[in-house]
Structure 1
Amino acid sequence: MHDIAIGERLIGPSHPPFIIAELSGNHSQDFELAVAMVEAAAKAGAHAIKLQTYTADSMTLNVDSVDFVIQEKDSLWHGEALHSLYAKASTPYEWHSRLFARAKALGMEAFSSPFDEAAVDFLEILDVPCYKIASFELTDIPLIRKAAATGKPLIMSTGMATLAEIEQAVDCAKKAGCEDIILLKCTSTYPAQPSNTNLVTIPHLRDSFNQQVGLSDHTAGIGVSVAAVALGATVIEKHFVLDRNAGGVDAAFSLEPAELKSLVEESARAFDAMGKVTYGGSAAEEKSKHYRRSIFVSVDVKKGQTLSRENLRIVRPASGLAPKHWDSVLGKKAKTNLPAGTALDWDLFE
């Protein structure tokens, strides 16, 4: 599986996971807050920030009928009209270039999720390094075709998609000229519960499509994301907010700066810990082997005296014969005087 370059960063199984801070609509239409979020994400060590590129009119219709109002009572946005929700959560197009420039100046990559074909055209003007397709848009084949035709890497959240729908999206992207595809396991509930995340899908998804796989994580905390790294995730995307208590459309399932910093550190630590199949101890453990147990003379033994449980013990360190030889040693005669503390060896008894 080949590495994928997103801007200046290489992504792949041999690299620590690529951490994306999703700003979403948590800027609450405040440009200075959005800039502060970019700066805080960089300080926390995130490798990229991501925006969402849409307008309320490009997302839905300005209609208040039941079809266009969120009905689910357990939704964070229950009772909201789709058009007004998207108007509140959208990132103004005129902000994009300034936020991208700030991110790049701080050493991060910056890109976005386009939600219609016109958004792809707009983002191409800004020369983004890749595109992200949101889970709800995975069945929007014309949008995938448009983004893939740029030839840039494509990150696609799978969300609710069936294997057949994922296959259709991947095939569409490849036929349109995209060679670098990363699929993100995603649970499209907001927030998502760990019990509903099914991380074991990650290696299955990777093997099914022979593509790199990551996680778009809507659960609270960082535990699920860190666990995903152990299952092969090369990309982790988490929503980000400066202060959950201050609000924001996605604040309830977003990480604060200290948590994002922990995610960057702990996911890298999980990656480092994966290693390779190893038995018999690592090179770092060689010195520790000295402190295993072995057979020692525990009280003074005279020449010709029988070695027994009364004058031998299995103790640390491992300077003497290994404990597996205990039964063979008992009953032997000492060839010479053996003071207490002598590490037993084959040439010390008959």
Structure 2
Amino acid sequence: MENESRMSMTTFKIGDFVVGGPRTFVIAEIGNNHNGSLALAKKLVDASIEAGADCVKFQLRNREALYRTAPGEEGSEDLGVEYIQDLLNKVELTNDEHRQLREYCREKNVTYMCTPWDEPSVDVLAGFDVPALKLASADLVNPYLIRKAASLGKPLVLSTGMSFEPEIEAAAKLVRSLGVPFAMLHCNSTYPAPESDIHLGYIKRLQEIHDVIGYSGHERGTAVTIAAVALGAKIVERHITLDRNMEGPDHAASLEPAEFKALVDGIRQVDQALPWNGPGRQASQGELLNRENLSKSVIAARPIKPGDTFTEDNLRVASPGQGLAPYRLPELLGKAAHRDIRIGDFLYEGDLTGEKTVKRTYRFAGYWGVPVRYHDFRKYTEMIDPDLYEFHLSYRDLSLAPENYLETVDCRRLVVHAPELFENSELLDLTADDLDYRQRSIDNLKRVVDATERIRRYFPHADSALIVANVGGFSMDEPFPLSHRVALYERFVESCSKIDFGSTELTPQNMAPFPWHFGGQRHQNIFMMPDELVQKAQQLKLRYCTDLSHLQMTCSHFGIDFQDALAKLLPYTAHLHVADALGVNGEGVVIGTGDVDWPETWEKISAYPGTSFIPEVWQGHKDHGAGFWHALDFLTQLG
């Protein structure tokens, strides 16, 4: 097998596109489906762009160089060859028309490629400044054309249809010796190809022969091509046509524009689903949410006093999954409890280590605090003396009397985080299309205002009572059109006009592009983009709760500079959720392990001492606030 000590070239560029990277290079093969019409060819270019293709490809032939002059009488060629030649007489474009298509693609900002079927056609394409050349399956066994194409110094893409494995290996060896980057495409050269003849699993063998491989498909539908991407294809080529019923050998094996768009959409979904950062299996943010809600924990089966020994009799397993996982119960057995544990209380890491809760003191330039629930408020007052508390309310909390849980504190600010989820699994959305749904959201926010006013009685020295809310504007399966944002903001303003906020202040939270709503992902449409947030703050006289994790994910997704965005938002920020983020959906990871540049970020934030913050760390409340203390210790070290 010829792959020993071969030169590795796992990525290369075709134009500005990095082939072999995380995004599949999608070629719309127009070929001769223009039927000899330049106007139809341009329509196919437009359709390919609309469908999301990265590249459009044509075919170029010099008929005199390509075909022999048959000896003997006319009609002596085999019937199949006669048919192909007759068809090409009808559907070919001139060299000048091909040149016009090259310029049209340049104007449309789409990559142009072409398959030369002979050496004179390579010379023609040399004058087009093509970014790469594609060689048809028929020429994988033609070292003369391969050498000629490689002489341009451009990347090559070679299809392997109709070939035997020794021929594929020989072609790969030849191109490597010529020093140009290249890809090899698995292919079955029948039109359309029966699924049983495609042998898609051969892609894995092709990866042993060469580093960058792809798939050129001629089958019906899109499923096999999408599967090829899942198997490792980095380039995909499919024929496109405006009408599959047109005359010609390729139309029947082509996709019409709507099908091609469905193919590209499917490939992009696989592109996003394939990457794995390793090592090992990691749980996603949405899974962590569901793990907490659906999994199980070790809890106390009966009251446990300090000094009592943990046994199988005083521990048991129950939902939800907010404490030690069940498999860790044996680690507790035989250890002594160091705290009072009520029946039903979770067991935590601190119960294994014996670490005791101590009084903690922090000082920062701005107001600082931690998130709390009603039931754990008094516990935190014993551990810290913060500048504020941020009450994270559930919809059930709105039916409770705060007086049963609170005591007067000497805090400088009160923050209340409105529930995201209300009765009947309904998310708060002040911008909803459904008028009844929108009214229910308005009524629910009024309930939050009432609860905040009642809580404020226990914060007599607070300079403000901020209500943090995710105000809506999300969609389920895809973002709304940009033009729809105006209506969403108008609905937000209209909804707010129906609420008497009293002594409270609504501070909308900036959102990430793909917010998690109780274990499921949505698409966010408003209160997300930094420049838009600034504009709306000025226009609507708003201040925000700026969530750094959300902001980092937004900047990562849209390629925005995080520090520039933060500098723009801080003048309009009343309160901060200080949290780290990883990628576009790794929300609230352990501070210092994500993408946020903390020294520069904290320097900017410290210049706004009137701004308050809490560390919002995923599961930070567990083990008596262990995640919060780690985050606050980390920020203290920044100065």
8 Å CA contact retained: 1:296, 1:342: yes
The whole-number CA distance in structure 2 between the counterparts of 1:207 and 1:301 is 62
Q: Distance between the aligned counterparts of 1:233 and 1:179, measured in 2?
A: 20
Of 283-292 and 153-162, more deviation after overlay is shown by 283-292
1:69 corresponds to which of 64, 70, 79:
79
CA distance in structure 2 between the aligned counterparts of 1:302 and 1:16, rounded to whole angstroms: 55
Quick check: 193-202 or 240-249, which moved more? 240-249
For residue 136 of structure 1, the aligned residue among 128, 138, 152 is 138
Larger Rg: 2
Indicate the SS of the match to 1:70: helix
User: In the TM superposition, what are the counterparts of 1:295-334 in structure 2 within 5 Å?
Assistant: 295-296=298-299, 314-320=317-323, 322-324=325-327
C-alpha change, 1:67 and 1:294, in structure 2 (3 Å) is same
Amino acid paired to 2:318: V
How far apart are the structure 2 equivalents of 1:173 and 1:129? 17
Unpaired runs of 5+ residues, structure 1, are 72-79
Q: Distance in 2 between matches of 1:236 and 1:280?
A: 29
Task: Check conservation: 1:149, 1:178, Cα contact below 8 A.
Answer: no
Letter in 1 for 2:33: N
The CA distance in 2 between the partners of 1:112 and 1:55, in whole Å, is: 13
Q: In the alignment, is the contact (CA less than 8 A) between 1:181 and 1:211 conserved in 2? A: no
Pair 1:49 & 2:56 matched: yes
Q: Go from structure 1 to structure 2 and tell me whether the alpha carbon gap of 1:189 and 1:322 turns closer, same or farther (over 3 Å shift).
A: same
SS in 2 for 1:151: coil
The corresponding residue for 1:4 is 12
The amino acid across from 2:140 in the alignment is L
TM-score, normalised to structure 2, is 0.47
Deviation at 1:321, TM superposition (A): 5.1
The answer to whether the Cα contact below 8 Å between 2:214 and 2:236 also exists between their aligned partners in 1 is yes
Q: Structure 1 pair 155/294, CA: closer, same or farther in 2 (3 Å)?
A: same
Distance 1:271 1:197 in 2: 22
- Residue number in structure 1 paired with 2:112: 110
Structure 2: gaps spanning 5 or more residues: 1-8, 353-639
What's 1:267 paired with?
267
Q: Which amino acid aligns with 2:79?
A: V
1:230 alignment partner in structure 2: 230
Q: Which amino acid aligns with 1:70?
A: G
Segment of structure 1 superposing worse, 252-261 or 87-96: 87-96
Offset of residue 207 of structure 1: 2.0
The structural deviation recorded for 1:125 is: 1.4
State the Cα distance separating 1:314 from its structure 2 match. Answer: 4.2
Q: Percent identity?
A: 34
The answer (yes or no) to whether the contact 1:205–1:213 under 8 Å persists in 2 is: yes
Q: Give the residue type in structure 1 aligned to 2:37.
A: D
Map of 2:187 onto structure 1: 186
After superposition, give the CA deviation of every residue in 1:3-38 in whole Å (9 maximum; x if it has no partner).
2121222212x2311111111121112221111000
Partner of 2:236: helix, strand, or coil?
strand
Q: Structure with the greater relative contact order (CA < 8 A, sep ≥ 6): 1 or 2?
A: 1
The RMSD of aligned alpha carbons is 3.5
- Is the counterpart of residue 26 in structure 1 residue 33 in structure 2? yes
Aligned pair count?
334
TM-score, length-normalised on structure 1? 0.81
Distance in 2 separating the partners of 1:224 and 1:267: 11
Task: Determine if contact 2:37/2:91 at 8 Å carries over to the other structure.
Answer: no
**TM-superposed deviation, 1:251:** 1.4
Which residue identity does 1:217 align to in structure 2?
Answer: G
Post-superposition CA distance 1:93-145 (Å, at most 9, x none): 22111111111222211121111111111111112111111001111221111
Q: CA deviation at 1:322?
A: 3.7
CA distance in 1, matches of 2:324, 2:175: 64
Q: Confirm or deny: 8 A CA contact 1:293 1:315 kept in the other structure.
A: yes
| SS of residue matched to 2:93 | coil
Moved more, 31-40 or 236-245: 236-245
1:172-194 CA distance string (max 9 Å, x none): 3344x342111111111111122
Structure 1 residue 57 displacement after superposition = 4.1
Please name the residue that 2:256 is paired with: 256
